[in-house]
Amino acid sequence: MHAEIDQALQVLVRSRPHRAIELRNRIEAGGADSGTLCELASELAAQQQADPAATMFMAAMLADPDCVAAHKGLGLLLESAGFLADAADSFASALRLQSSSEHHYLLARALHQSGERSRSTDHYEAALRLDQDNVDAWYNLAILYGETERVEQAIKALLEVTRRQPEIARAWTSLGALQSQQGKDEQAVDSLSRAVQLEPRNVLAHANLADALRMQDRIEEARKQVDRALLLEPASALACSIAARLDLHDGQPEAARDRLELRLEAGDCGILEGRILVDLAMAYDRLGNYAQAFEANAQGQGLLAQQPPASSFNPTTYPSLVAALEQWTARRSRAPSQPLSDGPTPNFLIGFPRSGTTLTEQILSAHPALTSLDEIPLIEQLSQAATQLTGLTYPDCIDALQQRDIETLREQYWQLLEQQQQLDRHQPLLDKLPLNMVHIGLIERVFPEARLVVALRDPRDCCLSAFMQDFVPNPAMIQFMSMERTTALYQQVMGLWLKNRASLRCPWLETRYEDLVDDLEGTARRLLSFLELPFDSAVLEYHRHAAAKRISTPSHQDVTKPIFRRALARWRRYEEQFAPFQEGLAPFVEAFGYRS
């Protein structure tokens, strides 16, 4: 008998003597065939004897290079040891020898862990084409979709898991977290409640349920869930963060600060350290510790930028898009579209993020005759459709649009919207998405009758507020993870607005956040008049209307309360930290009529 086989049997005899004797007898009687060697390797692997197990799998491959079980078994050992590239090679060999759902899944899993998301997606999907009941493939594919911001696809995959195996608590937990992210609060609470029922000691489920309840302003229930999570795991960084946000909601910044500082001192916050630092910055801000707030936020945003999902986005993608739109604007054709008088036309609320668009939208949406949209990327989808219609890249495709293309895009806009919510096309509509500001050229071409409400705010307050928010990452929002990129994007976006403003044919109205705070009724009357709507006193009670609806932006808690003044001239509290960015913003401070 070969010495390595003998050594492997001696290792196995310590824990499984009868099985070791059985395998020895078989080898002595019939030789060391690949099947027997794989059995020996599998027994050793089950006993956590990785080295001799790997040796036996390789011996099996020497005996039979086409031994599928040996390639698969070695891949599993390599994967558990963290040698992911080698594991993927072994699983790929098994797949070449035998195409199966399991082998596609194993290869996808190894690729997923090593960061090869595109190839991983291909193999998860191949696994499911071969076996729709491969629940592990559905679950991991959902996680992968979530990591790459394909949230709707992730939700669909998790629904497949829960339909096939409704007893898997982790699937309900992940599903609820994604539903909450998408603003599907009632569904999120249902899913996370199911997870808690299935697994009462599931800390992640309790914490996420608390967060979903917080987003619905069900604060007392949220407190109960986060307290339960902290009772089960006092060191839970996620539960600590959510508890601190509840403290801030309740006007207890000292409690939030103390909780977060203690958690950071304990260490081992993992991927949540960045979020905790951003939360701590907000507590410091409320307490008037502005230098500490700025520093904590800068550290936290820096950490968040280095990890998924933010790290999966190229930070130059969005600025490059705006630069392309700037260049196109300078050379664009000004051929107007013919107004389509017999079709409905949306109005648009645009502006730089944190400029008061959410407050403006909530005030206007309280009007009984107006329907408003909360950040549905319909215009972005139209830009992609325009590319397909013309065969040209965006934004050059805008000038190439024919009248029939424009009619197609108008209809597609409404169809896309009707997939999201029920509405009457002929009721006045306000489409609010701040950064649609960069797509004014497309809006003007497709909807020449549209009215544009442009939200303005002191550029310094706008940039500071954007920098100090915990946005859901995407190519645009990751710019706000540093003050340098925040102010650079402001200069790009608002510079583009100033260029467009000079020659824009759509009716437009600039409205300042500060005017809303100082004179709500007067500003509301001006806005409604521009939108050709009669004044209705309901808009002055907008916060009551807002409390009854889901708001997807970080402003959701602020706009459910009467207007407050603490956000005015906030940048002056950070004047020292803001000094390096004053020069770049100065032209916009002047252009929009603010004091230097």
- Residue-wise pLDDT tens digits, 367-386: 999 999 988 999 999 999 99
- pLDDT over threshold 60, residue 526: yes
Q: pLDDT tens for residues 259-318?
A: 999 999 999 999 999 999 999 999 999 999 999 999 999 999 999 999 988 988 999 999
Q: What is the pLDDT of residue 549?
A: 54
Q: What is the pLDDT of residue 150?
A: 87
Mean confidence (pLDDT) of the chain: 92
Q: What is the pLDDT of residue 122?
A: 97
Q: pLDDT tens for residues 104-116?
A: 999 999 999 999 9
Higher model confidence: residue 519 or residue 556?
Answer: 519
- pLDDT over threshold 60, residue 322: yes
Q: pLDDT tens for residues 202-244?
A: 999 999 999 999 999 999 999 999 999 999 999 999 999 999 9
Mean pLDDT is lowest, of 20-34, 78-92, 418-432, 441-455, for 20-34
Q: What is the pLDDT of residue 545?
A: 63
**pTM of the shown model:** 0.84
Task: Please name each of the domains of the chain with its CATH number.
Answer: 317-591 (3.40.50.300)
Q: pLDDT tens for residues 105-151?
A: 999 999 999 999 999 999 999 999 999 999 999 999 999 998 887 88
Q: What is the pLDDT of residue 334?
A: 63
Q: Is 199 strand, coil or helix?
A: coil
Average pLDDT rounded to a whole number, residues 507-518: 95
Residues 6+ apart with CB under 8 A from 150: none
State the SS3 of 20-77: HHHHHHHHHHHCCCHHHHHHHHHHHHHCCCHHHHHHHHHHHHHHCCCCHHHHHHHHHH
Higher model confidence: residue 90 or residue 22?
Answer: 90
Average pLDDT rounded to a whole number, residues 2-18: 84
- pLDDT over threshold 50, residue 559: no
Q: Which of 144, 147, 167 is nearest to 157 (CA)?
A: 144
Compute the chain's Rg from CA coordinates. Answer: 29
Q: Which of 37, 50, 34, 38 is nearest to 5 (CA)?
A: 37
Single-letter amino acid, residue 121: T
